[in-house]
Structure 1
Amino acid sequence: MSEQATNIVMSDNQLIHLIEAISRTSLSSREESFERLIQSFSSISTSDTNMQRTSFAKCLSRFSGERDFNVVEEFINTISIFKKIENISDDDAIEGLGLLLTGQASTWWQGVKMEVKTWISAINLLRESFAPKKQPHEIYLELFSTRQGLKESIDTFLCTKRALLSQLPTQRHKEEDQIDLIYGLLNIYLKKHIPRSEIKTFRDLLTKGRHFQSLKNNEEGEKLITKRCNYCNKRGHTEDECRKKQYNEKAKNMEKPGVKCYGCGTPGVYRSNCLNCKSKETPPKPVQFYSIINKTIEDGVKIPIIEVTIKNSNGYAYLDSAARTSIAGSTLYELLLKEGYTFTDKEAIVNLADGSTKHTKLKVITIEINIGNRCVPITFSAMPDEKNTRTLLGIDFLESAGIVLNLPQRSWYFIDAPETIFPFLQIKNVPALIIKNSQNVKKLDFTNINLTSCPQFICSTHELKTKTKVK
């Protein structure tokens, strides 16, 4: 009988069966029967132990296919350690590797699973597919591409750079050479307080760097606590750094943009309030269409008037942003009829100035009008039954033509050309000379004419012609 101790595991039923068998046999045969039973139980226990297989079912690590060297290596190290601790066979590890792969990595594994024969080949294939080995020149480029930030921890910086150096061929650089490569990438503050001659190992660099950053953080914290602004009486900054003081001083010293009259250049006033320009009037000249209001206009309040040309006929028109449509005055309507233009009829409800409404028939026409330095289309509505109506350029035309009114400066311009400004006409509230038929107008010869005996409009016309020749 062997003296070596053997650990036997049996159930309660097996133990009862053993006792009954021993009691039925004689003393001489009991020892033989006992040994046979022990051998049978040992073989059963060994077979039961071999049947308890382990796998990656309890492993918590997962990989979804990130193409990052550090992520792949972390995953491989984790599952390799788990496989060793749980005593997982290579076949079971290959079979259960799909449990740990998700997303793109799982799809990849389904395609290459049949090619894998050993656990080592599976690990190598995983590295080649998602973290191929970088060439040394690529590692050097990535190493020197970034420097340590002013507030970046020395631990994080060294960990990142040493991970890159670890991908180089074995024993490519000694530790002292690696320190030389990394030391030049430290921020200026660390290199000021930690000379290269005092560093022998990475442990020295890490220890001294941690100490300096700890002192710097404590110093900044104390400064924030002790600082107090004398201007706003708040902590954390000084009076020179106070943004509230800087804002107030900037607002106090900010000079308002200079305002001057557009007409004569008088500083500090708009053209509508300028005493010099209010007294100046635009010299009247003969026009084909124009009308004024019969009632006296309040002194100092002038409706914007501009000069327009319609089919070689000059005239004046009012700019009225309150009118929804442009109106052809009575004289313009008659002029267009004589020129042979055709109007279309349109029924409309007109809102009058007193608030009442009137159902009337309008005559509508679309023609081209010269205004400023452009020729643009306009749709006029005319009221043939009304007399002495004004020609209005309404809000519909102002929007379509892109006209911007600058009422304080008594001027206007096109929205796409604000540098070209056109002034309003300063016309008195008196009737202008209306030319009934432009074809019968004779050309005036101003030579050898005594201007003192001529009408006012002829004198004004002569002045305009003389100015034009001088220019």
Structure 2
Amino acid sequence: MAIDLLRKAFSPPKPDWRIYLEINQKKKKLKTFESIDSFICKERRLFAQLSERLSENTMINIIFSQLLLSIKEKIPRESISSFQDLLQKPRDIELLIEENKEPRPKSSDKKKKHTSESCYKRIEDDRKGNPRIKETILNCNGCGLAGYYRSNCPNCNKKNPINSPEKLDFNAVHTTIFGRDVPIVDICINGLNGEAYFDAAA
């Protein structure tokens, strides 16, 4: 009783008609990448949610009708009498189909069974020796030197060598002094003579 109450509170049962709708919508298609084991398990999970239990033969008929045509052509319905047969026999056929799959056609070519290795455009270019991809030649937008950007161009970023140190001189300062005289001393820095003014803060 308690389990039924919990199921109704957190997982209310679906009506049978909705479950049958989900079963019919889950037909295994060729484009869906789903194993036969996973497909049959999902179908049996839906059958278990029905209010009235179906017979095993009825469930096998419904699941068998939804298999791929390539599988149904190789397995007669009469050869399947249990879910074990329904799992094992289609599984073997599915493995054979996977092994016999041809390479996927090239997306840019509409010819049937045309792979990238047999592309006639690629073969023709290789025969003529034409490069398929044209290389872009880089040029400096400053001097036009090929193979360089302006940021790494040796011509545009060439540094001038320093032959001799530049001579430094003191700037002339003309000031009008009111009040007391400012102390001045003669100084010599690196061979350069000049005068230094002291700020007495007075």
With structure 2 as the length reference, what TM-score do the two structures score?
A: 0.49
Q: Which has the higher helix share?
A: 1
TM-score (ref. length: structure 1): 0.22
Larger radius of gyration: 1
